[in-house]
Structure 1
Amino acid sequence: MKKVTTNYIFVLLYQVLIIITPIFTMPYVIRVLMPENVGVEAYVSSIVQIFTAFAALGMGDYGRKVIASVKRKQDLKVEFYSLYLVQSFFSVIILIMYLIFTFYTKQYQTLFLINILVILSYVFDITWFYTGQENMKNIMIRNMVVRLGSMIGIFCFVKSPDDLAIYVWINAATLLVGQLVTWLPLLKNLNGFAFDWSKAKKHLKPVMTVAIVPIITLIPLALNKVILGNVTSAMEVGFYNQAFKLMTLFVVFVTALSTVMSPRMVKQHNSDNKEDFERSTYFSFRYVALSTLPLVTGLIAIAPLFIPLFLGVSFGPSVLNLQILAPALFFSGLAGIFGLQILVTTGRNKSYAFSVFIAAIISLGTNFVLIQLLGSYGTAISYVIFTIVTCMIQAFFARKYFSIKKMMRQISPYMVASLIAYGYEVGVTYVLTGMPVVIILAAQVAVGGVIYFVILFLLRDPLLLKAWQILKSKIPHKAQEER
């Protein structure tokens, strides 16, 4: 369990860095590049994302599971290169297709050419090896350094609306460098190459099954934005995309958990350790509720003041977009448990893919209808529908491994605490009317946070009580050392 905790801390630190860097760069970029260029960048990224989904091939989820299942160190090298052979074959084909697309595209061609680096980064992506090995320290430290370099580069070189290409290049280049540096410790560790064509063939079918998921999720993640841009304008895409970026920043708490817990749950399932597997599942339910529900209500409460301050008054429509998108945090967290931690771990890849497919089709249909009526708000609603439907179908397929009643009993205290905290956060805006916006926002966050955790302590929440016991046990130990 100590290894899980250490890995979780490193993943969370990196994910927190992902949150912090846009907090510094996003307001600067928006004001320098202007809303129209931000919309163009979002539109181009949506199309690039279609190619990256095919290049990624779902190897992150499947590769992590396979590597976690390897028991003998001598088998690790063969297993890794067999998986990478499948990944590199398909990702190089996608790279060639992207090059053809780029040379035949006239609009925004320069930006598409720069994004070749993004496709290349997926050719070299081996993050799944480290997550499967439960060895996150090295990869996270390297990526932190690269992320900070990206932030410095944006402030140094992006100075006007004409620097859109520079901004895209900095993001693409740092992504590629981040992937390349992960190869250095791996090559040293594995000490040479070892390919097994028969093993590569064995992985082909399950990889293709899991690969359907990132390809299908293109509909709510990328295709819906492309449709929005074609039906309305690039600026509407910008309004939606900035709200979506802000919402997804906070998904890090959920992704950090799934990244760390999945390999451990694979081992528990393979060793037929049902009690530990069930304990891990219910821990994940509690954690997702603890971390996402206050964020959902908090984002809804602060959006009217935060968006104009953070993005500028020209991004007013992003306020309602963010409020609509906020509940997707919670449903994405639950889907991560049902889909990745249960269905993929237990080998039910087809059920996992089917759930995402049905949800994506429903999302596409609602998007077509709602864009005509509501513009970017329609796209936001269709994304939330996607997360809810995915969650519900995956819960149905995973029902054998958990009790809905027990899950609801665990989640309900966090719902109550979040709603009460939300009431106080809204109340603060009325009490402090006329005060500077920064002070009101700080008061909302502080009051909401204090109320939320006080309620949980009064309810004797097991996660907080355990954290408090660990903290108390450390304090006397440190005091003794100082003496």
Structure 2
Amino acid sequence: MSSIKKNFIYSSLLTTTTIIFPILTYPYISRVLGVSSFGLCNFIDSIINYFILFTTLGLSVTGIREIAKVKHDSIALNSTFSSLITLSLVTTVIGSIILVIITFSVPQLFENKGLMLFGLLKLIFNSFLIEWFYKGIEDFKYITTRSVIAKCLYIIAIFVFVRQKSDYPIYYLICVLLIVFNAIVNIVHSRKFVKFSFHNIRILPYLKPFVTIGAYNIMISLYTTFNVAYLGFKCGDIQVGYYTTATKLFAIILAINTAFSGVMMPRMSSLIAEHKFEEFNHQLKLSIELLLSFVFPIIIFTIFFAPEIIDVVSGSGYEGAITPMRIIAPLFFVVGYNQILIIQTLMPLNRDKIIFRNSMYAAILGLILNILLVNTLECIGSAIVWICSETFLMIASVINLKKTCPLCFPRKLIVKNIITMIPLSVILSGIYFCSMNSIIKICISGLIVIAYCLI
């Protein structure tokens, strides 16, 4: 079995746990904490994630790409690893100081300084997470094993220690300790492959992609992470609870394609380095076919059964998440295709400037739409901002790739898939209007969608 198949199997297993574990904990947490406390935790976490974004910048992509290039040269591997983690530690120290200052300066954050200090712990240990290293050396077996063990401990802690609405600080601390655990294990395990040394540290060669790709991530965050923070400041914790409920369920399902892109990223970088362009193009076509094989049935399923999904997963009080969930349903295709265009194509081709420029335009659009829509439409406005910005990014990336890579937008294949979805839409509409239990509806329609995908 080829290494890429093994990696995809491990990544698929990891993705399966990524889907199953939230399904086990999410209904419990959302019901125990309630929409307000749950929204507060997500609001604080969005701010912490924003600091993580600024301190890591483009490290995840740069790390994978650079480690993949030197993984067979131990001296170069040690130098690259030491240089990248030093760069990360420097930015983390700066970010931590700024985070402490704003925590004690902004009244809304000072009121929740306990959660913010937990978040500081998450920010610090995130610099030791080094997932980029293991993806760069393509050790997906270790990543999967460690993640499964960590998530099992996380689930046990959630059910044991989070018992009532006032336990929301404990819930957030458990989420932070998950990062701490993974970081400690990763650093200890990395000593089998690489040694950190202050000798031969070269930060300058990595600084440009670190900043450029980081700028791309920051731009993207203006209509993803920033959406949550802006919504929290302008509209309160309840609207954040609605929006994060809709988007978190979306993220669980999208994890399938994200796992595949994560496996393909280091491999595509290696193919470019080895000048194997025919195989590179072949792998891109396979990625597109894989995406289209399951994405449209999921979109239709989500649009029809959003009320039932919200009811089963989150319970009463989260009805405000239904409309945002329906609005962002097409993002299963848009974001999935963007991952192919950017993570599997533009990044391995080192088209960092194109990525930055496209994301900057999309971010400007997202920022303008946030100001125009969120104050009045609240969480629905945030959903509209996200889908408009991602769609713009996809269109811009398609236009740029026509000039640099023979990857055409699969219009005919998309039209063909949409036509074949008509019978499925009729079947699901019939089930939707039947008077039956929400769980039964989801189970029956879910089995039909899976069967339809396979056929």
Structure 1 and Structure 2 fold alike (TM over 0.5): yes
Task: Report the residue type matching 2:23 in the other structure.
Answer: I
Ranges of 4+ aligned residues in structure 1 off by more than 4 Å? none
Give yes or no for the alignment of 1:11 onto 2:14: no
Who is 1:443 aligned against? Answer: 444
1:19-168 to 2 correspondence within 5 Å? 19-70=19-70, 71-104=72-105, 105-168=109-172
Who is 1:298 aligned against? Answer: 301
Q: Provide the identity percentage.
A: 25
Q: Is the partner of 1:251 in helix, strand or coil?
A: helix
Question: Are the equivalent residues in 2 in contact too, given 1:426–1:444 (CA < 8 A)?
Answer: no
1:451 Cα deviation after fit: 2.8
Question: Are the equivalent residues in 2 in contact too, given 1:27–1:311 (CA < 8 A)?
Answer: yes
Deviation string 1:43-64 (CA, Å, 9 cap, x unpaired) is 1112112111112222111111
Alignment length (residue pairs): 450
1:278 Cα deviation after fit: 0.6
Q: Is the partner of 1:188 in helix, strand or coil?
A: coil
Give the TM-score normalised by structure 2. 0.94
In the superposition, relative to structure 1, how do residues 158 and 282 fare at CA in structure 2: closer, same or farther (>3 Å)?
Answer: same
In the superposition, relative to structure 1, how do residues 79 and 403 fare at CA in structure 2: closer, same or farther (>3 Å)?
Answer: closer
CA distance in 1, matches of 2:188, 2:75: 19
Question: Are the equivalent residues in 1 in contact too, given 2:82–2:196 (CA < 8 A)?
Answer: no
CA distance in 1, matches of 2:59, 2:421: 36
CA distance in 2, matches of 1:402, 1:107: 54
Q: Of residues 179, 183, 187 in structure 2, which corresponds to 1:175?
A: 179
Q: Of residues 207, 210, 235 in structure 1, which corresponds to 2:210?
A: 207
CA distance in 1, matches of 2:271, 2:328: 34
Judge which range, 310-319 or 162-171, deviates more.
310-319
CA distance in 1, matches of 2:328, 2:53: 22
CA distance in 2, matches of 1:260, 1:85: 25
Q: Is the partner of 1:347 in helix, strand or coil?
A: coil
1:103 Cα deviation after fit: 3.7
Q: Of residues 379, 389, 394 in structure 1, which corresponds to 2:392?
A: 389
Q: Which has the larger radius of gyration?
A: 1
Give the TM-score normalised by structure 1. 0.89
Who is 2:236 aligned against? Answer: 233
In the superposition, relative to structure 1, how do residues 435 and 226 fare at CA in structure 2: closer, same or farther (>3 Å)?
Answer: same
Q: Of residues 322, 327, 332 in structure 2, which corresponds to 1:329?
A: 332
In the superposition, relative to structure 1, how do residues 422 and 152 fare at CA in structure 2: closer, same or farther (>3 Å)?
Answer: farther
Task: Report the residue type matching 1:76 in the other structure.
Answer: L
Query: CA RMSD of the aligned region, Å?
Result: 1.7
Question: Are the equivalent residues in 1 in contact too, given 2:401–2:407 (CA < 8 A)?
Answer: no
1:248-287 to 2 correspondence within 5 Å? 248-287=251-290
Q: Is the partner of 1:301 in helix, strand or coil?
A: helix
Q: Is the partner of 1:387 in helix, strand or coil?
A: helix
Task: Report the residue type matching 2:338 in the other structure.
Answer: A
CA distance in 2, matches of 1:61, 1:429: 42
1:402 Cα deviation after fit: 2.8
CA distance in 2, matches of 1:192, 1:172: 25
CA distance in 2, matches of 1:192, 1:108: 37
Q: Is the partner of 1:124 in helix, strand or coil?
A: coil
Task: Report the residue type matching 2:224 in the other structure.
Answer: L
Task: Report the residue type matching 2:93 in the other structure.
Answer: V
Judge which range, 182-191 or 159-168, deviates more.
182-191
1:192 Cα deviation after fit: 5.5
Question: Are the equivalent residues in 2 in contact too, given 1:58–1:211 (CA < 8 A)?
Answer: yes
User: Is there any run of 5+ residues in structure 1 with no aligned partner, and where?
Assistant: 455-483
Question: Are the equivalent residues in 1 in contact too, given 2:293–2:453 (CA < 8 A)?
Answer: no
1:215 Cα deviation after fit: 1.7
Task: Report the residue type matching 1:357 in the other structure.
Answer: M
Task: Report the residue type matching 2:446 in the other structure.
Answer: V
User: Is there any run of 5+ residues in structure 2 with no aligned partner, and where?
Assistant: none
Deviation string 1:96-149 (CA, Å, 9 cap, x unpaired) is 222232344422111111112210232112111111111111122011101111
Task: Report the residue type matching 1:34 in the other structure.
Answer: G
Question: Are the equivalent residues in 2 in contact too, given 1:418–1:452 (CA < 8 A)?
Answer: no
1:391 Cα deviation after fit: 1.0
Give yes or no for the alignment of 1:186 onto 2:190: yes
Question: Are the equivalent residues in 2 in contact too, given 1:421–1:452 (CA < 8 A)?
Answer: no
In the superposition, relative to structure 1, how do residues 442 and 65 fare at CA in structure 2: closer, same or farther (>3 Å)?
Answer: same
Who is 1:453 aligned against? Answer: 454
Question: Are the equivalent residues in 2 in contact too, given 1:428–1:440 (CA < 8 A)?
Answer: yes
CA distance in 2, matches of 1:414, 1:180: 45
**Does 1 or 2 have the higher relative contact order (CA < 8 Å, sep 6+)?**
2
Who is 1:479 aligned against? Answer: none
Who is 1:477 aligned against? Answer: none
Task: Report the residue type matching 1:239 in the other structure.
Answer: Y
CA distance in 1, matches of 2:358, 2:149: 37
Question: Are the equivalent residues in 2 in contact too, given 1:150–1:170 (CA < 8 A)?
Answer: yes
CA distance in 1, matches of 2:81, 2:422: 46
CA distance in 2, matches of 1:413, 1:392: 20
1:191 Cα deviation after fit: 4.6
Q: Is the partner of 2:160 in helix, strand or coil?
A: helix
Q: Is the partner of 2:163 in helix, strand or coil?
A: coil
CA distance in 2, matches of 1:38, 1:419: 38
CA distance in 1, matches of 2:352, 2:49: 23
Question: Are the equivalent residues in 1 in contact too, given 2:268–2:344 (CA < 8 A)?
Answer: yes
1:286-435 to 2 correspondence within 5 Å? 286-399=289-402, 400-404=404-408, 407-430=410-433, 433-435=434-436
Question: Are the equivalent residues in 1 in contact too, given 2:55–2:92 (CA < 8 A)?
Answer: yes
Deviation string 1:275-331 (CA, Å, 9 cap, x unpaired) is 101101111111121232222222112212221222112111111111111111211
Deviation string 1:48-95 (CA, Å, 9 cap, x unpaired) is 121111122221111111111125333211121122221221122212
Task: Report the residue type matching 2:85 in the other structure.
Answer: Y
Question: Are the equivalent residues in 1 in contact too, given 2:219–2:362 (CA < 8 A)?
Answer: no
